[in-house]
Amino acid sequence: MTSETGTAMPHDQEAEQATLGAMLLAGPGHDLVPEIAAVVGSEDYYRPAHATIHTAITDMHAAGLPVDPITVAARLRETGDLRRVGDVSYLHALVQATPTAANGPYYAEIVAGLAKARRRIEIGTRLLAHGGPDAVDAERIAAQAAAELTTLGTNDRWPDPIPLGSHAGLPVFPVSALTPWIGEQVAAVAEFTQTPPDLAATMALAALSTAAGGRVHVEIRPGWREQSNLYLVCAMPPASRKSDVFAAMTEPIYDVERQLQDESRAQIIEAETSREAALAEAEGLMAKARKPGDGVDRTALVAEAAAAKLLAEEIHVPPKPRLTVSGDITPEPLAQQLAIHRCLAALSPEGDLFDIIAGRYSAKPNLGVFLQAHKGERLQTDRITREQPSVDKPALTIGITPQPAVLQDLAGAPGARDRGLLARFLYALPPSNLGYRKTRTTPVPEPVAQRYRDLLSRLLRTLYALPEPVTVPLTARADRAVEGLQEALEVSLRPEQPLSHLLDWAGKLVGHTARVALLLHVADRIQGETWGQPVDEEVIRRAAEITDYYTQHALVVFDLISSDPATEAAQTILDWLRRPRTDGTWRTAIKRRDAVAASRRFRTVSQVEPALALLEAHGYLRADEPLRTGRAGHPGTATYRVHPSLRGEGGADAH
């Protein structure tokens, strides 16, 4: 391939086409797309259409979607970019223009090299323009040019840094891991409401937990059982159509609850009437016993009255059936309702429950009922009625969709982190579609909606009717699969590993996976009424895919809600790096002792080290090998190169 010459900036159209074609030819199971993306970025292409195609391919691969000319064309059609890049025929032309996909990284190096050459020319042109014929600060211009050209001379390309407090490439909920009748509803609701599927999927799991939570348990091994109730939260900003999605996914729950109440009304009235009659008889006998006169056998009357009263107390008046409680219930009434019904769900499209948990309406948060009702620990409190002094195996489901800021309020509640409340939630933090939603969408197909209503209703009724909780075991292969999850988790808890700072949350991850697996199991088998059979390995795998999704989102959520001094210090250094020196030049490299000067808050090198490590992890800095001092006990001085986006035009402030 030869570069095009003439008045145009250096570029090679054939190399750009072959790079994209190689990614389109990569096929599933290959790492060619990330390998090429590590060499060349969308900003390195000369043709804007090629940059658009590159972005679509890398985004789809990061989301776990298949990449080929047909799927990429569909994505570009959704975003309105297909015609702009040359239609589907051009994607096939890219494949035809690729001699071999295996050479994709080499083609990418050609594209990246020419992009670097174009930047050199742009830097020189810009600096000359800034200098002008009357420029006298030649030294400043030369220093600036040297700094920018030094960065371009490095062998590796700087990827975009990850903003502090966030993580790049959060996964989309794996809808394919759900039971088909649920997954179809989730996908259809997401399309109709133009919301991320994460929202509908999280509420679908909350619906399954409402049906099974506390009524079906899973036994992983002898002595290790898990209830099937979940605490789920999907945080999204206002105007995200949360209420519409919430209604579509939970409507069958409220329908079944009303039906159960209607069906039990006659039985409740009959029991209440019998009890009132027995009490009236006892009161009548006591009234006779109170009358004066010698002809009254008071002893016999009192005995009869006592017998009538005992009979009245033995008449059981069944409670009005309930599957749910309001989303703004306070801890004391919740404990009382759990004592009566044992299994309940607090579902809401808002975050009022988090306000209550955080203690906004009381002097001190009451976390006990929320902690005990997740694990199924014995619940006992003086506020519970005399008839129900305690309750064994309470099971509360929580499914709410608050705004992200509410999570920070919950994290600030005394004891929320220390006592393990935050560790009991599965978190989803999907991006908002606001500004990118289609105005005309396809309604949820009636067969899909009807199937979801019918099967969820059957599940709710079947499990509600169980006289006692049922325990479902695992198959031997499923047990080994759980053991594999435990081993992998143990490694991730080691220092410097991804979950090392989330030991409380990660400690419940395998248990959460078993709970999700049980929910999938009963949903899979409700039609054949075989949900009492052991949970198999394939269901464990699907559940692990779902909880891995929640793990990636939990990392972001805990970054968002944690009060981390290192993050605050890193932001201070970042702001300092974004400001030029007094002579107008930009910092291309710093040492640890330089960072101490970023703020008066820093006094020693040791105070800035955690912040520098965080900036390095987020891609703002790159550490070179420390220079040896030659003195025992004195560590070498590390030099950190600074991301080009933090300097001048095109810097982070300009984004």
> Tens digit of pLDDT for each residue in 576-618?
888 888 877 788 888 888 888 777 777 777 778 888 887 887 7
Higher pLDDT, 507 or 129: 507
Per-residue confidence (pLDDT) for residue 154, from 0 to 100: 47
Higher pLDDT, 635 or 526: 526
What is the band of 652 on the pLDDT scale with cuts at 50, 70, 90? very low
Per-residue confidence (pLDDT) for residue 452, from 0 to 100: 98
What is the band of 366 on the pLDDT scale with cuts at 50, 70, 90? confident
What is the band of 148 on the pLDDT scale with cuts at 50, 70, 90? low
Residue 217 near residue 225 (C-beta atoms within 8 A): yes
d(C-alpha 71, C-alpha 457), whole Å: 36
3-state secondary structure (DSSP) of residue 219:
strand
Mean pLDDT lowest among 178-192, 343-357, 438-452:
343-357
Per-residue confidence (pLDDT) for residue 127, from 0 to 100: 55
Query: What mean pLDDT is predicted for residues 361-379?
Result: 79
**Interacting residues of 361 by C-beta distance below 8 A, sequence separation 6+:** 330, 355
Per-residue confidence (pLDDT) for residue 149, from 0 to 100: 53
Per-residue confidence (pLDDT) for residue 185, from 0 to 100: 97
Per-residue confidence (pLDDT) for residue 629, from 0 to 100: 42
Task: Measure the CA angle with vertex 609, ends 608 and 612; round to 5°.
Answer: 85
Residue 19 near residue 53 (C-beta atoms within 8 A): no
Query: Looking at this protein, which amino acid is placed at residue 504?
Result: D
Residue 643 near residue 158 (C-beta atoms within 8 A): yes
Order the strands of the 343-348 sheet from edge to edge: 324-325, 343-348, 395-400, 231-234, 425-428
Residue 57 near residue 102 (C-beta atoms within 8 A): no
**Interacting residues of 284 by C-beta distance below 8 A, sequence separation 6+:** none
What is the band of 391 on the pLDDT scale with cuts at 50, 70, 90? confident
What is the band of 635 on the pLDDT scale with cuts at 50, 70, 90? very low
Query: What mean pLDDT is predicted for residues 425-438?
Result: 89
pLDDT at 251 over 50: yes
> Tens digit of pLDDT for each residue in 301-324?
888 888 888 888 888 888 999 999
Query: What mean pLDDT is predicted for residues 181-208?
Result: 97
Tell me if the pTM is above 0.75: no
pLDDT at 140 over 70: no
What is the band of 639 on the pLDDT scale with cuts at 50, 70, 90? confident
Per-residue confidence (pLDDT) for residue 637, from 0 to 100: 57
> Tens digit of pLDDT for each residue in 471-484?
999 999 999 999 99
> Tens digit of pLDDT for each residue in 32-86?
888 888 888 888 888 888 988 998 998 888 888 889 899 999 888 888 888 778 7
Query: Looking at this protein, which amino acid is placed at residue 243?
Result: S
Per-residue confidence (pLDDT) for residue 120, from 0 to 100: 76
Higher pLDDT, 120 or 554: 554
β pairing state of 216-221 and 470-473: parallel
Query: What mean pLDDT is predicted for residues 362-386?
Result: 72
> Tens digit of pLDDT for each residue in 3-26?
443 445 788 889 999 999 999 988
Mean pLDDT lowest among 40-54, 144-158, 289-303, 548-562:
144-158
Q: Residues in the chain, how many?
A: 655
Per-residue confidence (pLDDT) for residue 384, from 0 to 100: 45
Higher pLDDT, 221 or 119: 221
pLDDT at 2 over 50: no
Per-residue confidence (pLDDT) for residue 433, from 0 to 100: 83
Per-residue confidence (pLDDT) for residue 501, from 0 to 100: 82
Tokens of 64: 């776990």
Q: Cα torsion at 411, 413, 419, 424 (round to 10°)?
A: -50
Query: What mean pLDDT is predicted for residues 332-356?
Result: 88
Per-residue confidence (pLDDT) for residue 123, from 0 to 100: 65
**Interacting residues of 313 by C-beta distance below 8 A, sequence separation 6+:** none
Running DSSP on this structure, what letter comes out for residue 159? P
Query: What mean pLDDT is predicted for residues 107-118?
Result: 88
Q: Cα torsion at 28, 30, 36, 37 (round to 10°)?
A: 60
Count of CB atoms within 10 A of residue 307's CB? 14
**Count H helices, E strands: the chain?**
24, 13
Per-residue confidence (pLDDT) for residue 230, from 0 to 100: 97
Query: What mean pLDDT is predicted for residues 632-643?
Result: 65
Higher pLDDT, 582 or 165: 582
Tokens of 476: 């031997």
Task: Measure the CA angle with vertex 370, ends 364 and 376; round to 5°.
Answer: 145
Per-residue confidence (pLDDT) for residue 125, from 0 to 100: 60
**Interacting residues of 461 by C-beta distance below 8 A, sequence separation 6+:** 256, 260
> Tens digit of pLDDT for each residue in 279-302?
888 888 888 888 877 677 888 888
Running DSSP on this structure, what letter comes out for residue 580? P
Per-residue confidence (pLDDT) for residue 515, from 0 to 100: 98
pLDDT at 348 over 80: yes
Per-residue confidence (pLDDT) for residue 3, from 0 to 100: 43
Mean pLDDT rounded to a whole number for the chain: 83
Percentage of residues in the chain with pLDDT exceeding 90?
38
Q: Name the most confidently modeled range: 179-188, 397-406, 585-594, 640-649.
A: 179-188
Per-residue confidence (pLDDT) for residue 221, from 0 to 100: 93
Higher pLDDT, 237 or 541: 541
Per-residue confidence (pLDDT) for residue 364, from 0 to 100: 64
Percentage of residues in the chain with pLDDT exceeding 70?
83
Query: What mean pLDDT is predicted for residues 646-650?
Result: 58
Higher pLDDT, 431 or 358: 431
